[in-house]
Chain A
């Protein structure tokens, strides 16, 4: 399949550990944010979203934190599993405009 992101920042974690992936967004007018997961050869897949009126949202094994003051978004994955290995993108949506994707981080889960 397609090899995406050969030169992306890489985060390597041991299986079972928690992962934290960070993203700095650019537009202070953005009011909606999504984390996507992209596995090799596949399209981006929705993981979790958050609106700007929140600073934390939890899903199953994932948590997104939003710090609007410093325009920072993070994705926390609890008990990281081999199936979590992928490239992770944050995407921001300035109000009324289309999503803008960040550069991506490759998560590598070590056995």
Chain B
């Protein structure tokens, strides 16, 4: 069964450092997403990406965040200057949009900012 792959599974970084979270969506999917989940809280939408541009972003997705699809397979989330409150699980998801079934999520990257 096709999977969304995320790397690394766990990243520890110092406050103020830049981090890049990587995702390989399912190959024939057209829509890509980043969500985050702070420990003990619900899954929150960050950004959606289609046709090589951001289609929608939440208020969480401020100027410190950016996304890229540098080649035909990878989809990255960059946080330029991490803050303690950025510590969370970050999930990448992709979607074909050809019918029902919802997103396929990756297993997530646990980001710990110290």
What residues of chain A have their CB less than 8 Å away from a CB belonging to chain B?
2-8, 32, 34, 36, 41-46, 49, 51, 89, 91, 97-104
Verify A7–B44 contact, CB threshold 8 A.
no
Verify A49–B89 contact, CB threshold 8 A.
no
B56 within 8 A of A: yes
CB distance from A11 to the nearest CB of B (A): 17
Partner of A43, one of B39, B45, B48, B91: B91
Verify A98–B56 contact, CB threshold 8 A.
yes
Verify B103–A4 contact, CB threshold 8 A.
no
Q: Chain A: interface secondary structure? A: loop
Q: Which residue of B lies closest to A47 (CB)?
A: B102
Verify A36–B102 contact, CB threshold 8 A.
yes
List, sorted by A's number, 25 A–B pairs whose CB atoms are closer than 8 Å: A2-B89, A2-B108, A4-B37, A5-B40, A6-B39, A7-B40, A36-B105, A43-B4, A43-B93, A43-B105, A44-B43, A44-B103, A44-B105, A46-B101, A49-B100, A51-B100, A89-B42, A97-B56, A98-B33, A98-B56, A99-B102, A101-B42, A101-B43, A101-B44, A101-B45
Q: In the bound complex, what is the Cα–Cα distance between A61 and B46 (angstroms)?
A: 32
A-chain residues with CB within 8 Å of residue B42 when the two chains form the complex: 89, 101-104
Q: In the bound complex, what is the Cα–Cα distance between A99 and B48 (angstroms)?
A: 10
A-chain residues with CB within 8 Å of residue B40 when the two chains form the complex: 4-8
B107 within 8 A of A: yes
10 extra interchain contacts, Cβ-Cβ under 8 A, other than A91-B102, A101-B44, A101-B45? A2-B89, A5-B41, A6-B39, A32-B100, A43-B105, A49-B102, A91-B43, A98-B48, A101-B43, A103-B42
With a 10 A CB-CB cut-off, give which of B33, B35, B104, B108 has the most chain A CB atoms. B108
B-chain residues with CB within 8 Å of residue A41 when the two chains form the complex: 107-108
B-chain residues with CB within 8 Å of residue A91 when the two chains form the complex: 43, 102
CB distance from A47 to the nearest CB of B (A): 9
With a 10 A CB-CB cut-off, give which of A42, A98, A104 has the most chain B CB atoms. A98
Q: Which residue of B lies closest to A100 (CB)?
A: B45
